[in-house]
Amino acid sequence: MIVAGCDVGSLTTKAVILNNKRILSQAIISSGFKPEESAREVMATALSFAGLSTDDIQYCVGTGYGRERIPFVSTALSEIACHAKGAHWLLPTARTVIDIGGQDCKAMKLDAQGNVVRFFTNDKCAAGTGRFLEVMANILGFDLDELGKVSLQAKDPLSLASTCTAWAQAEVIHHLNAKRTKSDIASAVNQAMAARVAILARSVGIEKDVCMTGGVAKNAGVVSALERLLDVKIRRLRIDPQLVGALGAAVHARQKIGG
Amino acid sequence: MRMPTKTMRLFDDLLESPQNTLVEQASQDGRIPIGYSCAIVPEPLIMADRLFPVRLHATGVTGTEMADNYLSSFVCSYTRSLLEFAMDDRYEYIQGWVFVPSCAHMQRLIDNLEYLRKPAFSHVIDVPRKVNDVTIAWMVEELSMLAENLSSHFSVDLGDESLSRAIAEWNSFTEIVRSVGELRKRTHPPLTGTEFHTMLMSTLASPKDLIIPKILDFKQEVQQRGSPVDYRARLMLVGGHLHDPGFIRIIESQGGLVVADRFCTGSIPGLMPIEMNGDPIRNLAEHSFRKTLCPRMMEEFHRRVESIIETAREYKVDGVVIEIIKFCDLWGVDAMPLITALRKQGIPVLKLEREYRLGSEGQLRTRVQAFIESMGT
């Protein structure tokens, strides 16, 4: 039973192909202006990695902001349902999932079957989203992965007075001009991000196990700051957290055809 | 997707601008449009003789650059949009304004209108925030003052007989609208919530007598439809002012059919008939409080919750969507215990914060879709 999930996000497009309970292949590309083209490209890449053709896919579920414009999917589901399902597939004990994507942030509470029972989203403000980190990393001259690693080396961590992306940007520039170390500033950035996300996560009610999905889950600084703020261990998932939405879509696809 | 009917296209046209063709027709016939902003204002009082009510709306507003100069950034976008339209002379045709200082934001609108575009006739009804015998007596006095002022300013007859006729006309109008609304109780309703709201908003924005024939046409069209509306979940929409039917259209695009409404510009319980027994002003005063379930009213939270639960059961809804305009203090505060109370009854709830003008459609779609998915329907 070969199924697929395709997640067209605002910044990246992802695809996962499943054969029963095994991930056959996966792919991530940057999202273009046309969701349908990004979807076709990422799926072609994933199919080629697996040595398959489109005809081999029995069912495909689409998700992400571009889900309604993916031409080859059988069903489109919300990214909330897909991230929840994907996280639960990887970690069946997961009851709280925090997903931080490029332009939004979601906290979800799951039941034992991986269904969403409650969720909260922030999709109106860049604070608390991947975009916030991207802007700050750019000013500091890091890529996103480095921002996390460097922040863990902070000796005298700073704090940011505002989580507004525009104001925080000005504050980071001020700290740079004041010759503060980049690791201390990076720590402040991750801490500010985590503080914002923690509010959303608390709104849904933290229940163990907690895990994170989305690109920001790769930032060790944010994860570590969130663990402190929420006073809970955040369980790491065994695949790239950016792929969890596409994986969840594939798991839904499997369930749709009775798998 | 269902094609819009002929009357639905007409209703859409009527909402394109506050000064619609029916308002123009009535004005050309020498009738007097009176703008009002709050459900507490009794429409029949501004329907008597040559008067006709127009619910203030700013559908199609594209920005509030002028109003932003006069209102604080914490004033809601509904108030802001009304002031923008007023400053842009989009309400120039309105000859009189009747307000209720429903909230601090609305009070700022009244203040600014007085300052920037002083209307020839403007009246503020001082509505109490509690309901008891003293309140009714107070409201009777307030409405009597309004009737006197309207009567002397516009030389119209607002005597008991004239008001009774207006109440009877309003009751006939609401009976027709209710009969359309009740079609939504069916297991497979023949109309969408978007269509119902478009029709309802058109009735609020037009003279009642001129729009009644159009509603009857629409009802006939709907009843003759072959196929019912397809849906995944039946939803009830709860909240403050909602004017743009596009908001409901987005909810329904995700399979959530809006079958019941409990918002300021909705039909439940706003269109219940007015009891006619004796003094028409007193009947109007009592009715204003009976039909209004606004969070501005103190000590009425329980009644508001009960009404929503009762309606949810009557219309067999699967979930409730609470829509709140950003910075609306009244609904913002009421929503928190309301969500808890509804969930205690086992009713799934989704809260959506929005702006008056439709926007962020993608995010709205995702939230609604996820809500429907979480209900397992």
At residue A207 the predicted structure's pLDDT band, cuts being 50, 70 and 90, is very high
Share of chain A above pLDDT 70, in %: 99
Residues of chain A contacting residue B251, judged by C-beta atoms under 8 Å apart: none
Q: Which two tokens stand for residue A245?
A: 């939405």
Average pLDDT for A90-106: 92
Q: What are the contacts of A90-94 at 24+ separation with CB within 8 A?
A: A90/A211, A90/A237, A90/A238, A90/A239, A90/A244, A90/A247, A91/A209, A91/A211, A91/A235, A91/A237, A93/A208, A93/A209, A94/A209, A94/A210, A94/A211, A94/A235
Right CATH for A1-91+242-259 from 3.40.50.1000, 3.20.20.140, 3.40.190.10, 3.30.420.40: 3.30.420.40
pLDDT tens column, B62-72? 999 999 999 99
To test the contact with chain A by mutation, choose from B322, B374, B375, B377 the residue with the greatest count of A C-beta atoms within 10 A, namely B374
Interchain CB contact of A257 with B (< 8 Å): no
Q: Do A71 and A59 meet the contact criterion of CB atoms below 8 Å apart?
A: no
Q: What is the pLDDT, as a whole number, of residue B377?
A: 67
Average pLDDT for A236-247: 94
To test the contact with chain B by mutation, choose from A7, A10, A69, A80 the residue with the greatest count of B C-beta atoms within 10 A, namely A80
Which of 224-253 (B) contact A at CB < 8 A?
none
Residues of chain B contacting residue A77, judged by C-beta atoms under 8 Å apart: 369, 373
Q: Do A17 and A52 meet the contact criterion of CB atoms below 8 Å apart?
A: yes
Which of 337-376 (B) contact A at CB < 8 A?
353, 360, 362-363, 365-367, 369-370, 373-374, 376
Average pLDDT for B17-21: 92
Domain ranges in chain A are 1-91+242-259, 94-236
Whether residue A38 has pLDDT greater than 90: yes
Domain of B88, CATH number, reads 3.40.50.11890
Whether residue A164 has pLDDT greater than 90: no
Q: What is the pLDDT, as a whole number, of residue B1?
A: 54
How far is the alpha carbon of A132 from chain B, nearest alpha carbon, in Å? 18
At residue B205 the predicted structure's pLDDT band, cuts being 50, 70 and 90, is very high
CATH superfamily of A94-236: ATPase, nucleotide binding domain (3.30.420.40)
Q: What is the pLDDT, as a whole number, of residue A123?
A: 67
Q: How far, in Å, CA of A78 to CA of B371, rounded?
A: 9
To test the contact with chain A by mutation, choose from B324, B373, B375, B377 the residue with the greatest count of A C-beta atoms within 10 A, namely B373
Residues of chain A contacting residue B374, judged by C-beta atoms under 8 Å apart: 80-81, 115-119
Q: How far, in Å, CA of B356 to CA of B264, rounded?
A: 13
At residue A41 the predicted structure's pLDDT band, cuts being 50, 70 and 90, is very high
Whether residue B209 has pLDDT greater than 70: yes
Share of chain B above pLDDT 90, in %: 87
- Do B366 and A65 lie within an 8 Å CB cutoff? yes
Q: What is the pLDDT, as a whole number, of residue B4?
A: 67
Question: Looking at chain A, which residue has its C-alpha nearest residue B349?
Answer: A118
How far is the alpha carbon of B348 from chain A, nearest alpha carbon, in Å? 9
Q: What is the pLDDT, as a whole number, of residue B362?
A: 87
Q: How many domains are there within chain B?
A: 1
- Do B370 and A78 lie within an 8 Å CB cutoff? yes
Q: What is the pLDDT, as a whole number, of residue B2?
A: 62
At residue A128 the predicted structure's pLDDT band, cuts being 50, 70 and 90, is confident
- Do B366 and A77 lie within an 8 Å CB cutoff? no
Q: What's phi and psi for B165, nearest 5 deg?
A: -65, -40
At residue B49 the predicted structure's pLDDT band, cuts being 50, 70 and 90, is very high
Question: Looking at chain A, which residue has its C-alpha nearest residue B253?
Answer: A68
Size of interface A-B (CB pairs under 8 A): 40
Listed range (A88-97, B232-241, B324-333, B358-367) with the worst mean pLDDT: B358-367
Share of chain B above pLDDT 70, in %: 99
Averaged pLDDT of chain B: 94
Q: Do B353 and B339 meet the contact criterion of CB atoms below 8 Å apart?
A: no
Whether residue B47 has pLDDT greater than 80: yes
- Do B369 and A77 lie within an 8 Å CB cutoff? yes
- Do A121 and B367 lie within an 8 Å CB cutoff? yes
pLDDT tens column, B81-92? 999 999 999 999
Q: What is the pLDDT, as a whole number, of residue A134?
A: 87
Average pLDDT for A44-69: 94
CATH fold match for the domains A1-91+242-259 and A94-236: yes
Q: Which domain holds residue B103?
A: 20-161
At residue A127 the predicted structure's pLDDT band, cuts being 50, 70 and 90, is confident
